[in-house]
């Protein structure tokens, strides 16, 4: 059976997370594809900052920028995520039902919402996001069930989707490992991507909340195409080229107003 690129790269990351260092030979034996294919994967994954290539293999990035670790992602670009969450809050109206994915940027938005006197229903696939919001008596929190991701705080898989048949999602706030006008929102975890794709389908409006370090980058699997995305919120004003491309794709761009 043919394996998807994203599935293959997921297996590479799982092995790396376990062993911290792997050789191409080990990977070939474990995954069952050619060494040439794996070298291409490893080179691409190095470009995406997921690992560091070594002679004959790769090692896991243990530096603070390792984006596969949720705690590292949460600390990264904290100020930018705060700016994004404050802008995102302006799009939310009383009594709406919103969906927050399990991204660190959505968690920042939850922290902002926690202290607001606003009546809302919040559906989320993020355990930390749900725990953050339970402190606000005006917010009803619905946690999507499923399998808990290893070394993370997000739900993966589509087991708990039936709960969404009982709610109408006004806005989904979502982030990814990368955003480009060509591909839309992308991520590297195939199982999380499968859930996010379904959440996108069930939401009336999709708002991408992406810090500027991820713009122009692509990861292995698309979960929201440019046609799916209504609004992009980021922390810095963008160049003319990006603004034009977004306009051509009917994506509204919202950035902070600089004084």
Task: Enumerate domains of the chain plus CATH numbers.
Answer: 5-60 (1.10.10.10), 71-254 (3.40.50.1360)
Q: Are 146 and 166 in contact (CB under 8 A)?
A: no
| Range list of H helices, 96-166 | 104-114, 127-133
User: Given this model, what pLDDT does residue 63 score?
Assistant: 46
b/e map 105-127, b = 16+ CB within 10 Å = bbbbbbbbbeeeeeebbbbbbbb
User: Given this model, what pLDDT does residue 26 score?
Assistant: 92
Most confident of 14-18, 170-174, 178-182: 170-174
Bridge partners (DSSP) of residue 21 are 59
Q: d(Cα 104, Cα 200) in Å, to the nearest integer?
A: 18
| pLDDT band per the 50, 70, 90 thresholds, residue 61 | confident
Q: d(Cα 99, Cα 185) in Å, to the nearest integer?
A: 16
Most confident of 143-157, 189-203, 220-234: 220-234
Could you give the percent of the chain with pLDDT greater than 70? 91
User: Given this model, what pLDDT does residue 108 score?
Assistant: 95
The number of beta carbons lying within 10 Å of the beta carbon of residue 54 is 13
| pLDDT band per the 50, 70, 90 thresholds, residue 147 | confident
User: Given this model, what pLDDT does residue 170 score?
Assistant: 98
User: Given this model, what pLDDT does residue 166 score?
Assistant: 87
User: Given this model, what pLDDT does residue 179 score?
Assistant: 95
Q: Which residues contact 51 (CB under 8 A, 6 or more apart)?
A: 12, 13, 16, 42, 45, 58, 59, 60, 61
């Amino acid at each position: 059976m043919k394996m998807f690129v994203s599935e293959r790269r997921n297996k590479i990351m799982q092995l790396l997370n376990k062993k911290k260092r792997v050789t191409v030979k080990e990977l070939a034996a474990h995954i069952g594809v050619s060494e040439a294919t794996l070298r291409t994967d490893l080179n691409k994954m190095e470009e995406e900052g997921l690992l560091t290539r070594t002679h004959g293999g790769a090692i896991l990035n243990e530096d603070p920028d390792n984006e596969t670790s949720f705690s590292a992602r949460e600390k990264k670009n904290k100020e930018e995520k705060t700016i994004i969450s404050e802008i995102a809050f302006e799009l939310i109206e009383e009594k709406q039902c919103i969906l927050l994915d399990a991204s660190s940027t959505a968690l920042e938005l939850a922290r902002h919402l926690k202290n607001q006197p606003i009546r809302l229903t919040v559906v989320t696939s993020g355990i930390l996001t749900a725990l953050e919001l339970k402190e606000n008596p005006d917010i009803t929190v619905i946690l999507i069930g499923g399998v808990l991701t290893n070394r993370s705080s997000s739900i993966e898989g589509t087991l708990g989707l039936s709960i969404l048949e009982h709610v109408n999602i006004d806005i989904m706030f979502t982030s990814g490992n990368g955003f480009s006008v060509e591909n839309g929102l992308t991520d590297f975890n195939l199982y999380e991507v499968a859930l996010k794709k379904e959440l996108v389908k069930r939401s009336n409006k999709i708002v991408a909340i992406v810090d500027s370090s991820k713009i122009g980058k692509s990861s292995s699997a698309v979960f929201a195409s440019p046609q799916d995305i209504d609004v992009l919120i980021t922390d810095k004003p963008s160049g003319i080229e990006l603004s034009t491309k977004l306009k051509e794709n009917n994506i509204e761009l919202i950035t902070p107003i600089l004084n």
